[in-house]
A and B are shown apart, each in its own frame.
Chain A
């Protein structure tokens, strides 16, 4: 008995440790007793109130990481928003293009603008369609908004289009309401011009300009723009019409090529006339 007591006294720490470990294991095996749940609920509620009182105290490290996370989220959401805006705009554009194609009076081939060649005098665009798609030089290029230009050259898969905003561009047009005819040109700037319109003819700002039936290059009736100004020349019997085009040539992305070619007999007749005029001069 004395030895046992001495053993217990000498090793009291280890015995205590062992007993406590056994108690801990027993508690772990009990788990979450029902009697304790009620007490824990009370404690959680009390701690919750106390934590609420402390909630105003900022944690700088947490704030910093939260700030960084929010910045990243903001950047991501901004990008997603921009993407969805672009998608909405493109959806609208494609919907209009599809409507135009389905309602077009003449057959058209849709094309994407894949390149631009611009200078102060000349402006061309490159399309992703060519002779393999049925494209030929001389075909009119249009959008749902109006006339864009004319195909100048075509390879197997691509073609180049001279825009209306080109110093070499000449389009036979007429005022839609009064049928007054003229030749549409471009001399720089945002607007197109029709020179030598007789003062006797009735034209006014706001009238629509469309392609004329006299044209051997473009189908009749394609909208071009609206008269923004009528310039009278006091020293002449003619006036100049300033036309604001409906098409925005800076933002062309999707166009249509009209496969309707001019009457070959008319084209041949014109060629012969031009040749005779050149001979006489």
Chain B
């Protein structure tokens, strides 16, 4: 998400977001298992869609989240709609932190990991409710073990783009 002229056109930006979502969905499948801790995976797609919401607002963020969630549902062999539902609710919450023209200040500061933490918590909560609750599995045990851990891991990974944006802002 640079401020170069080609991306000033919203349509070009939205197409770029869609391509990035597709690539990140593939990366989520291929790369995240390599950096997983005890079956806890970071959520690259969530970080990206939250960043989109902080740049473009809640409406575009919702669209990106729906597309990202649905894409991951299809290629990740998960029940259709689960990731999409969790993503749109998480990014809707993140959209409340949108401030027009203050993308770099938000993403390049400590606010970004906080927003990611809140969004990831909502994402994992909804995801576990949809998948675990209908079964006989212990929801609380699984959510506190995997949901909270995944939230924390995603928050830690979000520090990387935060530092990149913060460094770019200095120049």
Contact = CB atoms under 8 A, between A and B. Distances in A.
Interface of A: 12-13, 16-17, 20-21, 23-28, 30-33, 36, 39-40, 43-44, 47, 50-51, 54, 57, 59, 61-62, 65
B29 interface: yes
A56 to B, nearest CB: 10
A59 B34 contact: yes
Interface string B48-68: 000000000011001100100
A17 B62 contact: yes
B31 to A, nearest CB: 8
B74 interface: yes
Contacts of A12: 59
A32 B79 contact: yes
- Give the interface SS of chain A, mostly helix, strand, loop or mixed: helix
Interface in B41-95: 58-59, 62-63, 66, 69-70, 73-75, 77, 79-82, 84-85, 88-89, 92, 95
Given A13-B59, A20-B66, A44-B77, A57 B34 contact: yes
Contacts, number: 80
B62 A39 contact: no
B54 to A, nearest CB: 14
B160 interface: no
Given A36-B80, A40-B74, 8 more contacts: A17-B62, A17-B88, A24-B66, A24-B82, A28-B130, A32-B79, A43-B75, A54-B30
Contacts of B82: 24, 28
Nearest to B92: A17
What is the interface residue range for chain B against chain A?
20 to 34
A18 B149 CA distance: 29
Nearest to B58: A13
Nearest to A33: B80
A24 B35 contact: no
A32 B80 contact: yes
Given A13-B95, A54-B30, A62 B36 contact: yes
A7 to B, nearest CB: 16
B5 to A, nearest CB: 28
Nearest to A25: B81
A1 B120 CA distance: 39
B110 interface: no
Nearest to A53: B30
B171 to A, nearest CB: 32
A47 B58 contact: no
Contacts of A54: 30-31, 34
